[in-house]
Amino acid sequence: MTSWIRFDAPDAGGGFGMLVNDRVLEYEGDLFGEARATGVERHLGDLVLTSPCLPGKVVALWNNFHALAAKLDKAPPKHALFLIKPSTSVIGPGQAVVRPASYAGKIAYEGELGIVIGRRCTNVEPEQAGAYIFGYTCINDVTAVELLGEDPNFAQWCRAKGFDTFCCIGPAVQTDFDWRSARVVTRLDGVERQNYPLADMIFSPAEQVSMLSRDMTLMPGDVIACGTSIGVGTIKDGATVSVSIDGIGTVSNVLRSADGER
């Protein structure tokens, strides 16, 4: 059971390492290639965590849970339905989600499981897909919901979900994780708002990786956001959303207003 984090250290700048309780064993090189222990050991409390990976793209699924599909009265899709969140949307645990200066409408949280790709991946079978999954993380797939239907002719998924800071990832990438028995719990200012089982997924992680690998090459560090289930709601400026998955941890982020007042 290995948990990888990335961090900023006051004395040494950015780095990454393996989390063992509250100790961090520092590594150097490429997390997805050749990673070597430096021998340096740090204390978690001395570090500021950053996003545990730097995805070139985040592929975010829509309508991937039976419970939410039933609630929305949508048929389960035949193929994974997705949009792309750009790399510029990614932040790590503890960083602020910033309301876009141009948008005064509702902003929603969506707690999700994230799949982190470990190897370049094209046209793989579901049975092979596990070998391309490096690990799993927690995601808050933040959404400017009022933009989705703003234009009657074009659902603006990439715009509503693509703003800078709208993809919270962390705290770690967990390499050994059994999604079948885990739940996603989302709290808004400490109050539980989502608590759903990952076993309710329409497409399993292996099926997602296989399907998406037929749609585009997935690269090391790329992230698949597995979609959310029931309990999505809006975040007021100044509120904090925490997404927790047992065995991975919690990614927690405040929504800051555009002028920084809250």
Sign of CA dihedral 224, 142, 188, 54: positive
Among 13, 102, 127, 191, binds its own copies (CB under 8 A): 102
Q: Which range touches its own copies (CB under 8 A), out of 32-40, 110-118, 147-155, 243-251? A: 147-155
User: Could you give the C-alpha distances from 262 to 239, 243, 255, in angstroms and in order?
Assistant: 9, 21, 8
AA letter at 248: I
Nearest by Cα to 241 from 175, 166, 182, 180: 166
Q: Which of 17, 162, 170, 221 binds its own copies (CB under 8 A)?
A: 162
Distance CA 226, CA 1 (A): 22
DSSP 3-state assignment of 124? coil
Q: Please list every residue from 178 through 237 that binds its own copies, using CB under 8 A.
A: 214-217, 219
Are the C-beta atoms of 37 and 27 separated by less than 8 Å?
yes
Q: Is 57 exposed, middle or buried (0-12, 13-18, 19+ CB in 10 A)?
A: middle
In the bound complex, what is the minimum distance in angstroms from residue 77's beta carbon to its own copies?
Answer: 5
Q: Which residue from 101, 190, 259, 260 is in contact with its own copies, where contact means CB under 8 A?
A: 101
Per-residue binding string, its own copies, 103-142, x by CB under 8 A, is -------------------xx-------------------
What does the radius of gyration of the chain's CA atoms come to, in whole angstroms? 18
Looking at the Cβ atoms of 56 and 247, the one nearer to its own copies is 56
Q: Is 151 in the site for its own copies (CB under 8 A)?
A: yes
Which range in 45-53, 129-137, 148-156, 228-236 contacts its own copies by CB under 8 A?
148-156
* Binding-site ranges for its own copies (CB under 8 A): 56-57, 62-63, 74-75, 77-79, 81-84, 86-89, 100-102, 122-123, 150-151, 153-159, 162-164, 214-217, 219
